[in-house]
Amino acid sequence: MSGTAGAGRGAAERPILRVLNGEALSPPPAWMMRQAGRYLPEYRAVRAEAGSFLDLCYNPDFATEVTLQPIRRFGFEASILFSDILVVPHALGQDVRFVEGEGPRLDPLAGRPEFERLIEAGDPRIMRHLSPVFETVGRLRAELPAETTLLGFCGAPWTVASYMIGGRGTPDLAPARALAARDPALLDALIDRLVTVSTEYLVRQFEAGADAVQIFESHAGSLPDVPAGETGDALARWSLAPIARMVAGIRARVPGAKIIVFARGSGLDGHARVAEETGADAVGVDWAVDLKALRARLPASVVTQGNLHPETLIAGGEALDAAVDAIRAATAGTPHIFNLGHGITPQTPIAHVERMLARLRG
């Protein structure tokens, strides 16, 4: 089954789709990574009712409600599906659970025996497991305002693989880096499977009603070394080339698909390479990158997104005003989507989000 990106009533006028098509808007449209989350009391109420975090992700009633909450409160120009990058390894048969106050826990994939127990790519059980996510996407498209862009997402293969191997987020991703040194072919095989499954996963999100998708390479700053004697560099082999295969695979099925790639921690050079090597429509920019310097390296037509430090949003006040103004100045006349340089944190005051948007839009 094929699809067409951005189809549906009002799609052509959705501001974020206009930017993803290369139009520079002033003020730029905005959304926030993790905008449906614990800083909102209404989210915390639904989270308590849902039970486990995965129950929240897989229940279309709850997932639709929490996705809509920040749109009702703030009027963001985009709504991003509420889910988690680890639903993909869960669908592959790996045990995934979320421990309150500690985050995700998986049974570590330490070697070939664990890999061989995963479900093969193409097995219909994988997409059946993920069908509640697609139901949520369809319901969101029906309930969102016509002008609001609906974003789907998944984790990039390296980032997801690092959790699968380590069993959790670990300092410097040491378990995944060690596996890459010990058995690089196994890491290649895991990444290949994740490319195939994640490509299908995003295609299904488009078919369900997503206007665009974001691929989160949250761990681009902790890539393993390329094995001795082998060519290429770590960013290309383990991150950008697999993402490029995903982008090509999605567009083969969904002509014109709009795709944002966020390679956190890859530095100024890495962010520039995202635009050059993946085929992405937009480059998500983390808070550590000099946005003005990045824009100077990119063609004027390349779309950027993000860069505001989440801690600046926590601080608020004049520091927040100045940061918003600086981002607008650095991206003036170029296509940009206003966002944070990483996800909003639970301790962020709601009043500061309101101030940020008032400054941006005023």
295 annotated as ligand-binding: no
Q: Which of 84, 211, 281, 286 is catalytic?
A: 84
Element (H, E) at 80: strand 78-80
Which is the catalytic residue, given 39, 58, 163, 201? 163
In the chain, the N- to C-terminal Cα span, in Å, equals 44
Helix (H, G, I), strand (E, B) or coil at 313: helix
125 marked ligand binding residue: no
* The one catalytic residue among 14, 34, 141, 273: 34
**DSSP, residue by residue, 77-125:** SEEE----TTHHHHHTT--EEEETTTEEEE----SHHHHHTSPPTT-HH
Indicate which residue of 14, 47, 193, 204 is catalytic. Answer: 47
How many angstroms separate the CA atoms of 34 and 84, rounded?
10
The helix-helix angle for 350-361 and 317-330 (nearest 10°) equals: 40
Q: Is 342 annotated as a binding residue?
A: yes
Q: Which of these, 305, 304, 322, lies nearest to 313 by C-alpha position?
A: 322
Residue 35, annotated as binding a ligand = yes
Residue 39 annotated as binding site? no
Q: Which of 18, 38, 328, 359 is flagged as catalytic?
A: 38
Residue 163 annotated as lining a ligand binding site: yes
Cα–Cα–Cα angle for 248, 250, 255, rounded to 5 degrees:
95
Residue 84 falls in the annotated catalytic set: yes
Catalytic, 168? Answer no
Does 73 show up as a binding residue in the annotation?
A: no
90 labelled binding-site residue: no
- Rounded-to-integer distance, Cα 306 and Cα 287, Å: 8
Q: Does residue 84 have a known ligand-binding role?
A: yes
Torsion of CA 80, 86, 88, 93, to 10 degrees: -150
- Catalytic residue status for 34: yes
Half-sphere exposure of 140 (CA within 13 A, CB side): 37
Annotated binding site: 34-38, 84, 163, 218, 342
Positions marked active-site: 34, 38, 47, 84, 163
Residues at the annotated binding site for substrate?
Answer: 34-38, 84, 163, 218, 342
